[in-house]
Structure 1
Amino acid sequence: MAPSSKLSTLLIISLLFGFAQAQSINDEFQMVLDSTFHSHPKAIGIQVAIVANDPSLNWNSAVGFSSVKKQEALGDYQACLIASNTKTYVAAAVLKLVELGQLKLDDSIGSLLSEDTRNLLEETGYKTDSISIRNLLSHSSGIRDYVDIHYLDLVNEDPQYAWSRDEQIELAMQAGGPLAPPNQVFQYGDINYLLATEIIERLQGKPFYTAIRELLGFEELGLKSTWFYPLEAYPVEQGSIAHQYWAEANWDSDAMNPSWDLFGGGGLAANAFEMAIFYQKLFSAAIIRDTNLLAEMTQPVLPESNYALGLRRIAFHGRTAYYHGGFWGTDVMYLPDYQLSIAVVCLEKDQRDLNAELSEALVLRIEAYLRNSK
């Protein structure tokens, strides 16, 4: 056999072996997902995606149904409400403004808020000149949140009520004065991100959802099914949004006006695949290209908290991970040691603990695959 023929044969064998390996690991991922759903049928539907620098690990799938009626299967790319996972996108948009030189993380919010909002905060006892952008993004502002049992009762009493951001900010002020001065305590609160979107809006001179889309480059990233629902136009290719449930409260996301969680604390609709793409692009410096600034996003601000800027720095399966979760059962994390992102959607909020269980099982398969590939 001629040398060139031998090389061609070896190349073909190598490619076939690589394809077989990738197919094998994808089959293992699917087995894990199927087994998890079989053990947790109350989850209704589960959607998972892995996006990695190593393309052989890329995979996404869904099992179960898109609603409790069990008439339609949950689609691999069907969108859902990602709730507080939205905060990572908002924080990234603010960091993009920092990268563009339009503000600094330690700028005070006093001069950046509207006059009405600033006056409302000041009248409630908040010193807006002492609260920074960094405080908002890290929930270290000391501002009381409006999302409490009283607010959830209001939502429950009238699930179709159309909320405004201003109403929700006012509710936060009615909750009382400062919990503590800035930089003293961590208190997770949507109010911080409502103020952040108001600031984005004022700096960009356009609706916050348009500004975030443009700053993060949704189109350039290929995020065709990621949008602020219902503030933006429904994507042409997107079918119906999956129903998401909270059985304990008898809540169905489809029966509720999304405005109760829409203005920055939540608000985005997306699928697991596009959430994983976003995290992968974010931590590959494809959005925020200043790596020093990107590193700040992953550093917790207060020593007693693992919350950084729009995400949490956690230990997962013995590895560092950058993570955020959402009210309706959505979880996303980036594992820098493996250069990959995992997103999981569980349509029943009360079953969302399985997201961590499923992710850990997938990571175990990934570790074995990488060991055997050496």
Structure 2
Amino acid sequence: MKPKNKIVLVKNLVRLLLVVLALQSCARVNNKKVTSAPANDDTSSLPAHATPLTPEEISRYKRLVSNHLDSTLNKTRFNGSVLVAKNGQIVYEEYAGFVDPRTKRDSITPTTPFHLASVSKTFTGMATLRLWEEGRLNVEDPVSKYLPGFPLEGVTVRLLLNHRSGIPKYDHYMGEMGWDKHKMISNQDVLDFLIANHQKIPIGTPNRGFSYSNTNYALLALIIEKVSGLSYKDYLKKTFFDPLGMKDTYVFTLADSARYMPSFYYSNREYRFEFLDAVYGDKNIYSTVRDLLKWDQALQTEGFFKKATLDQAYAGYSFEKPGTHNYGLGWRMYLLKNGKKLIYHNGWWHGNRTSFYRMTDENATIIALANNDCRYVYKVKEMADIFGDYMQKHKRYDDDEPTQVAHVQKPVKRRSHATAYKKKSTSRRSTAKK
């Protein structure tokens, strides 16, 4: 081969190699993650009470968050979105994977809404308190005042809110007590079944202790509808989503089946719809990390809600057992010995795993959403120590619903959904699947 031809061949090979490397780089981005942060001078959307961060502060927070995620969440098959904010200003956000991780189509973006699972309870709780704030209901009223036929004496609206009603989980007992699993359950069905079968259901004494139950929040959704005269979906849209500019947030109903985001086992096998999937109030709100930041900021200070309302929501109501865990009105919390309070809610429904952590003293927020059963979503809580002394780094919590020990996940054969339900019903701590 002539020297000139050799030079041309080498140049062509170099060009081809560069193209291949570029394509591989794109593939890695599309298959794993896209990380972005707003411009350092982007403070246009900050709430009035917030102090803008300096470029140095943003850089520091981004580095600390990135280091933590690279050693935890990003080592897994995480398929979802993460956002961390300080003073209402985004310091880190990440969008990893695809709406359908099997086909690798439709990349997850800032406008991709995820099923929030039990994080939905924060909206139900605050919607109930908005009606209380307006004088349209009293949280000390018996539930029977708003839901005719409700059979349990001594159960108030407040006891639904703080999970002290004694009513167990409809998602456990309805299927076990003869409900046709080929028929979707509605919120009204939850109430009617309770009315018809309350003597057979193992119901505890009201206000004797904390017992996390999705039934409480399914019933609260019915109360919201009764008092407001609107559907739960329309009430939340009118009262929260539209005023706060939460454009990518909605309450799922069966009419939304064509646009909902599916969820998956960690092995990428898809969860199928089941008879429990139409009930709302306890779950079934879809949202994005950016919309949840708007929700967080609306709840940071008096304005969107009165201070007395926030004080009610963020107070602990269960002290019969010593410990740091407690529950307010729609919110979980850690009440730490050093006086710090970490306000949060996690969620788990099918393959949807969600975390929403709020450090209100520092106006800092950590949000992570996944649709592929990635338990490491709950480890984002450890980043609370970036902003204050929340005593999280040294602990290996997997504090979802219910609490489990976090392990490195491997693609393994999964138990059936029914078997998982039975095992969780024997959990040493009364929490929920979501």
TM-score normalised by length of structure 2: 0.66
Q: Could you say which residue in structure 2 is the equivalent of 1:69?
A: 102
Alignment equivalent of 2:284, drawn from 248, 253, 267: 267
Counterpart-to-counterpart distance in 2, 1:213 and 1:231? 17
Q: Could you say which residue in structure 1 is the equivalent of 2:132?
A: 98
Task: Give the Å deviation of 1:153.
Answer: 11
Q: Could you say which residue in structure 1 is the equivalent of 2:344?
A: 323
Q: Could you say which residue in structure 1 is the equivalent of 2:15?
A: none
Q: Could you say which residue in structure 2 is the equivalent of 1:222?
A: 245
Q: Could you say which residue in structure 1 is the equivalent of 2:118?
A: 84
Distance change (3 Å), C-alpha of 1:187 and 1:366: closer
Q: Could you say which residue in structure 2 is the equivalent of 1:347?
A: 371
* Bigger RCO (CA 8 Å, 6+ sep): 1
Q: Could you say which residue in structure 1 is the equivalent of 2:69?
A: 33
Between Structure 1 and Structure 2, which shows a larger proportion of helix residues? 1
Q: Could you say which residue in structure 2 is the equivalent of 1:209?
A: 233
Q: Could you say which residue in structure 1 is the equivalent of 2:301?
A: 284
Q: Contact (CA 8 Å) 2:188, 2:222: kept in 1 or not? A: no
Q: Write out per-residue CA displacement over residues 228-257 of structure 1, whole angstroms, 9 at most, x where no aligned residue.
A: 1136779xxxx9654322459x9735x316
Alignment equivalent of 1:243, drawn from 251, 262, 279: 262
Alignment equivalent of 1:167, drawn from 166, 176, 189: 189
Q: Contact (CA 8 Å) 1:142, 1:179: kept in 2 or not? A: yes
Counterpart-to-counterpart distance in 1, 2:66 and 2:111? 16
TM-score normalised by length of structure 1: 0.76
Q: Write out per-residue CA displacement over residues 187-244 of structure 1, whole angstroms, 9 at most, x where no aligned residue.
A: 11111112111111111112122112223x311211011101136779xxxx965432
Distance change (3 Å), C-alpha of 1:37 and 1:299: closer
Task: Give the Å deviation of 1:259.
Answer: 5.7
Counterpart-to-counterpart distance in 2, 1:38 and 1:197? 36
Counterpart-to-counterpart distance in 2, 1:193 and 1:63? 31
Percent identity between the two aligned chains = 20
* Larger Rg belongs to: 2
Counterpart-to-counterpart distance in 2, 1:154 and 1:61? 44
Distance change (3 Å), C-alpha of 1:367 and 1:296: closer
Q: Could you say which residue in structure 2 is the equivalent of 1:7?
A: none
User: Partner letter of residue 100 of structure 2?
Assistant: S
Q: Contact (CA 8 Å) 2:364, 2:387: kept in 1 or not? A: no
Q: Contact (CA 8 Å) 1:83, 1:261: kept in 2 or not? A: no
Q: Could you say which residue in structure 2 is the equivalent of 1:22?
A: 58
Counterpart-to-counterpart distance in 2, 1:23 and 1:165? 47
Task: Give the Å deviation of 1:293.
Answer: 2.1
Q: Could you say which residue in structure 2 is the equivalent of 1:198?
A: 222
Question: How many residues align structurally?
Answer: 327
Q: Could you say which residue in structure 2 is the equivalent of 1:298?
A: 314
Computed over aligned residues only, the root mean square deviation of the Cα atoms, in angstroms, reads 3.4
Counterpart-to-counterpart distance in 1, 2:219 and 2:68? 41
Q: Could you say which residue in structure 1 is the equivalent of 2:81?
A: 47
Counterpart-to-counterpart distance in 2, 1:346 and 1:152? 29
User: Partner letter of residue 345 of structure 2?
Assistant: H
Counterpart-to-counterpart distance in 2, 1:46 and 1:232? 24
Counterpart-to-counterpart distance in 2, 1:260 and 1:155? 14
Q: Write out per-residue CA displacement over residues 45-76 of structure 1, whole angstroms, 9 at most, x where no aligned residue.
A: 13111233263x54322123332315133223
